Amino acid sequence: MSDLHLKTLSEIRGLLAERRVSAEEATKACLERIEATEPTIQALLHVSAETALAEARALDAAGPGPERPLWGVPLTVKDCLTAKGLPATAGSRILENFVPFYDATAVARLKAAGAVILGKSNMDEFAMGSSTENSAFHPTRNPWDPERVPGGSSGGSAAAVAACQGFGALGTDTGGSIRQPASFCGIVGLKPTYGRVSRYGLIAYGSSLDQIGPMTRTVEDAARLLQVMAGHDTRDSTSVDEPVPDYLASLSARSDLKGLTIGLPEEYWGEGVDPEVAECCRAAVAQAESLGARIVPVPLKLSEYAVAVYYVIATAEASSNLARFDGVRYGHRDKQAQDLTEMYTRSRTQGFGDEVQRRIILGTYVLSAGYYDAYYRKAAQVRALLRRDFDAAFESCDLIAGPVCPTTAFRVGQMTSDPLQMYLMDIFTISANLAGIPGLSLPCGLGRDSGMPVGLQLMARPFAEDVLLSAANVLERALPKLPQPGGLI
């Protein structure tokens, strides 16, 4: 097998641009890696080998050019994003046979930049979960240790990148679903500012929370993918018409962290964080300080309410968004129903898994006439206050740092019987979605007890992805590089 799959996205891009490697060779290397590793980790739901190779050959015939900055680079895409001609199940039986006829804007922009789409990655059903065990088809395993989960809901994308099945992947983040699996799998995961990347073509979970972002092996690779995807889209009413900086230029413009202030919220560093996680993250913060950053405490006093607020707002939006899957227009339809009401009931019961049904019921409850004011309205008010909390914190710092997750990757089956414990895995990531700010997970070491990756979370002001990426890039170069995952050897 070729070792091309071990290259970073930036490295393979350079080889492709110089014609030292063909697009077909890069694609074949990834497909061979998928064949070798999929029996163990099961990161993908659909592999489009023939289509990917045909696209690669067409790219080779046309040749590279500056208008195609990702020419010939093979990537994978989370299965809640539409890609023309490829299944889009969102990890659910209710969409098992759905094949969209159009590309999501993020996918279309990657294709226009010359990327090759290898296939669709596994996920928790409709992005509802933190372990990818809620997929209706099969769980995904962590490449570092197949007995552990890769995180979720973008666990398939994270595992695919960590296992070198492709040079990057797209994930989605509603409450931490890019950053948490990135932390568990030892890769970089970026949730952009809400509105920075078009949501057109995303099968929605929580419309005011969902955001598409890159998952890669380096910060530079994440910057390259974001550069292509970011920007206003008239087809998405939540897309913001904000200028897109030159993210790659921002990386090269910074060689240290002098002039940056990093805030440490006490609420992210206290009780409940595993000692091995705290140890790695504190070492990374100390490294940032040695690079010139000023470290200050910042209060985020409303963070303790973030999980409760999130699960009111997210489930309410989910109950509305998932009402369209009713067995009428597309998706699973029960064949035995005798009338319309029975068809709705049976189709949705058969098509949705337990966690999705649980969240639909919760969302319907908090939106109901007798409880809307007590739950949904109050959660929306606290969300606004939480956003103000972040605005106040950023008056005294440029970035906020803390652990991505209280623990390293837990074992398969460890939390499936306790949904509340699973929900708390996103306790440090949820706030960024509620506030709409960008957040990034940066690998900062291996836990001394578990030997599993630990991620440091950095958050920035809205639309300050250039500051976030440039600082993470400097810190990444100074931190010890993680070895290749050992779970596949």
130, 135, 177, 347: the catalytic one is: 177
pLDDT at 318 (0 to 100): 97
Q: How far is CA 27 from the centre of its chain?
A: 23
Which residues neighbour 199 within 8 Å (Cβ) at sequence distance 6 or greater? 207, 210, 211, 212, 236, 238, 239
What does the pLDDT profile of the chain (489 residues) look like in tens digits? Answer: 579 999 999 999 999 999 999 999 999 999 999 999 999 999 999 999 999 999 999 999 999 999 999 999 999 999 999 999 999 999 999 999 999 999 999 999 999 999 999 999 999 999 999 999 999 999 999 999 999 999 999 999 999 999 999 999 999 999 999 999 999 999 999 999 999 999 999 999 999 999 999 999 999 999 999 999 999 999 999 999 999 999 999 999 999 999 999 999 999 998 889 999 999 999 999 999 999 999 999 999 999 999 999 999 999 999 999 999 998 888 899 989 999 999 999 999 999 999 999 999 999 999 999 899 999 999 999 999 999 999 999 999 999 999 999 999 999 999 988 888 888 899 999 999 999 999 999 999 999 999 999 999 999 999 999 999 999 999 999 999 999 998 775
1, part of any domain: no
> For the chain, what's the residue count?
489
Report the number of distinct structural domains present in the chain: 1
3, part of any domain: no
70, part of any domain: yes
Query: Domain with 97 in it: what CATH number?
Result: 3.90.1300.10
7, 78, 111, 120: the catalytic one is: 78
243, part of any domain: yes
Is 177 marked active-site?
A: yes
- The residue type found at 311 is Y
Strand partners, 172: 212
268, part of any domain: yes
- The residue type found at 92 is S
369, part of any domain: yes
- The residue type found at 220 is E
Instruction: Find the domain containing 72 and state its range.
Output: 9-489
130, 135, 153, 183: the catalytic one is: 153
How many other C-beta atoms lie within 10 A of the C-beta of residue 87? 19
Cβ atoms of residues 121 and 45 within 8 Å: yes
**Residues 411, 415: Cα–Cα separation, whole Å:** 8
CA distances to 228, 272, 387, 428 from 268, rounded to whole Å, are: 32, 9, 16, 7
Q: Is residue 77 helix, strand or coil?
A: strand
**Residues 22, 2: Cα–Cα separation, whole Å:** 13
- CA count, 13 A, side-chain hemisphere, 280: 32
- CA count, 13 A, side-chain hemisphere, 356: 28
Rg of the chain over Cα atoms, rounded to whole angstroms, equals 21
How many other C-beta atoms lie within 10 A of the C-beta of residue 297? 12
Is 153 marked active-site?
A: yes
Q: Is residue 443 helix, strand or coil?
A: strand
Strand partners, 298: 265
Nearest to 167 by CA among 149, 151, 187: 187
4, part of any domain: no
285-291: long-range contacts (C-beta < 8 A, 24 or more apart)?
285/401, 285/456, 287/475, 287/478, 287/479, 288/257, 288/262, 288/401, 288/471, 288/475, 290/478, 291/256, 291/257, 291/258, 291/474, 291/475, 291/478
**Tokens standing for 231?**
């920007």
